[in-house]
Copies of this chain bind each other. A is one copy, B any other.
Amino acid sequence: MGKSRMEAFSDGVLAIIITIMVLELHAPHATDLAALRPLVPVLLSYVVSFVYIGIYWNNHHHMLATLTHVTGAVLWANLNLLFWLSLLPFVTAWVGQNGLAPTPLALYGVVLLMAAVAYFVLQGAIITAQGPESLLARAVGNDAKGRASLAMYAAAIALAGRAPGLAAGLYVAVAVVWLVPDRRIEQVLAEQRRS
């Protein structure tokens, strides 16, 4: 079983998730600039979630580049990741409509945390399918960046009640850390080509 349809299906779902979030930006009835003010937090939460989906799409793309055959475990680990990402439009809307209200902000972090865990599980399923000498196993290493992200999500969830601004800042910080495409997989692929 090839991976091209799994890539195509994932791309389709991610393209839909990233786009339907904009449906939360309802055109206001009034036509002055002030009518846009309530939309600012909606837009900001959309921007953060857009960047997160972009990061997941990008890293997903790189991770699958190392995959040579799809197993049942890889397939369901991938659907599990897509499931958690599909909840992002819901929590984005809840956060956007309520500024920095604690519970929506914490739930946003829970969804990000679950998606990150699902990404780890998918990574593990691919390494299991490809073997411990696989490219991905070597590229990921001890995955300090991934572990640090989990800790930051957990911290943001815990802080959402007392310091919502700090929690929101942590979500942005993790996104910024991941904005730079993950070069580890590219490096290992390039090394392999040279040898």
- What is the bound-complex CA distance between A94 and B57, given in angstroms? 30
Interface string of A35-57 (1 = CB under 8 A from B): 11000000000010011001001
Residue in contact with A12 in the complex, picked from B15, B83, B98, CB distance below 8 Å:
B15
CB atoms of B104 and A31 under 8 A apart: yes
Chain A contact-residue range equals: 35 or more
CB atoms of A19 and B22 under 8 A apart: no
CB atoms of B5 and A61 under 8 A apart: yes
Judge whether A90 is part of the interface by a CB distance below 8 angstroms.
Answer: yes
Copy tally for this chain in the complex stands at: 4
Find the B residue at minimum CB distance from A185: B1
B contact residues around A159 at 8 Å (CB):
none
Find the B residue at minimum CB distance from A54: B79
Interface string of A3-43 (1 = CB under 8 A from B): 00101110111111111101101111101110110000000
Q: A16-B16, A20-B19 are in contact. Are A1 and B33 (CB under 8 A)?
A: no
CB atoms of B18 and A19 under 8 A apart: no
Judge whether A177 is part of the interface by a CB distance below 8 angstroms.
Answer: no
Judge whether A132 is part of the interface by a CB distance below 8 angstroms.
Answer: no
Find the B residue at minimum CB distance from A102: B31
B contact residues around A13 at 8 Å (CB):
15, 18-19
Binding site for B on A (CB under 8 A): 1, 5, 7-9, 11-20, 22-23, 25-29, 31-33, 35-36, 47, 50-51, 54, 57-58, 61-62, 65, 72, 75-76, 79, 82-83, 86-87, 89-91, 93-94, 97-98, 101-104, 107, 179-181, 186
Top 4 closest A-B pairs, CB basis? A12-B15, A72-B181, A31-B101, A27-B94
